[in-house]
């Protein structure tokens, strides 16, 4: 199986499962990721999604280069099923648990997630330039937003890797964890998010997207509208009641 898909309580985990190929993505894996993300959005019991890679060496080495010649025309390549798009379009909050090399599309996969944490042995690179092309899954936009224009240019124009500590210093990841503790930390973080009001969590995700794509005044007005929508939900009523009664809230996605 090119991916493993597991649901444990309110947390789903998608594991890229080609460790012998550094979890490089094939068209079949792309389709499997799309199906898994669609199930995550359909299933209201799932409140947070973890993306990780199988094996100790790689999160994802991007697209399997050997499979790229299988596209009959450049137009077919342009309109391919894209695993990064599927992850970026997830409605549910997502966490990348980067357990090793994140290269090319693997870096884009991590960047497509809302939160990124990495093992201390992780490395990040946009090496496409070394093969004669550039990334196509939002690489430049995601990097520029995450680490600034100069650092993004350094990665995009050299193709050279950075280690986990530099990624942390640049803001590419939020935390660096020892490899054997990475998934425990990812699950703990996912369970924390899953315990929050799910409509509010999904709205916060949408709001962040707007913050990057709208002018400031429009983004602030949009945020106020989203806040008003959340404020009218039963979960918000429950949150206020729980606060007054000094108890933990029970959110029901209503």
> Residue 74 belongs to what H/E stretch?
helix 74-78
Between CA 158 and CA 153 the distance in angstroms is: 8
Which of 14, 194, 28, 205 is closest to 115 using CA atoms? 205
Which of 6, 35, 39, 128 is an active site residue? 128
46: which DSSP letter? Answer: -
With both helix axes pointing from N to C terminus, report the angle between 234-245 and 198-213 in degrees, rounded to the nearest 10: 110
CB 40 within 8 A of CB 90: yes
> How many degrees, rounded to 5, is the angle at CA 189 between CA 234 and CA 210?
60
What are the residues facing 11 on neighbouring strands?
8, 48
Question: Does 218 qualify as catalytic in the annotation?
Answer: no
What are the residues facing 52 on neighbouring strands?
15, 97
Q: How far does CA 164 lie from the centroid of its chain?
A: 17
Which of 108, 175, 202, 223 is an active site residue? 108
CB 103 within 8 A of CB 127: yes
Question: Does 35 qualify as catalytic in the annotation?
Answer: no
Between CA 18 and CA 39 the distance in angstroms is: 21
Backbone angles phi, psi at 25, to 5 degrees: -90, 130
Backbone angles phi, psi at 135, to 5 degrees: -65, 155
Q: Which residues are catalytic?
A: 108, 128
């Amino acid at each position: 199986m090119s991916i493993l898909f597991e649901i444990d309580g309110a947390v789903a985990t998608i594991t890229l499962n080609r460790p012998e190929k550094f979890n490089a993505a094939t068209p079949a894996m792309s389709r499997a990721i799309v199906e898994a993300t669609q199930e995550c959005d359909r299933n209201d019991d799932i409140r947070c999604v973890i993306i990780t890679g199988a094996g100790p060496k790689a999160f994802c080495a991007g697209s399997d280069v050997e499979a790229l010649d299988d596209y009959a025309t450049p137009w077919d390549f342009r309109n391919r099923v894209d695993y990064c798009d599927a992850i970026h379009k997830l409605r549910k909050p997502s966490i990348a648990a980067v357990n090793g090399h994140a290269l090319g599309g693997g870096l884009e996969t991590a960047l497509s997630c809302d939160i990124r944490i990495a093992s201390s042995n992780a490395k990040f690179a946009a090496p496409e330039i070394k093969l004669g092309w550039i990334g196509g899954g939002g690489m430049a936009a995601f990097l520029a937003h995450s680490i600034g224009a100069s650092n993004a240019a350094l990665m995009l124009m050299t193709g050279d890797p950075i280690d986990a500590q530099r990624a942390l210093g640049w803001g590419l990841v939020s935390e660096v964890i020892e490899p054997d503790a990475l998934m425990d930390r990812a699950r703990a973080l996912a369970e924390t998010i899953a315990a929050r009001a799910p409509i509010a969590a999904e709205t916060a995700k949408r709001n962040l997207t707007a913050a990057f794509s709208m002018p400031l005044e429009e983004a602030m007005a949009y945020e106020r509208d989203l806040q008003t929508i959340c404020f009218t939900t039963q979960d918000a009523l429950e949150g206020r009641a729980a606060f007054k009664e000094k108890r933990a809230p029970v959110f029901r996605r209503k």
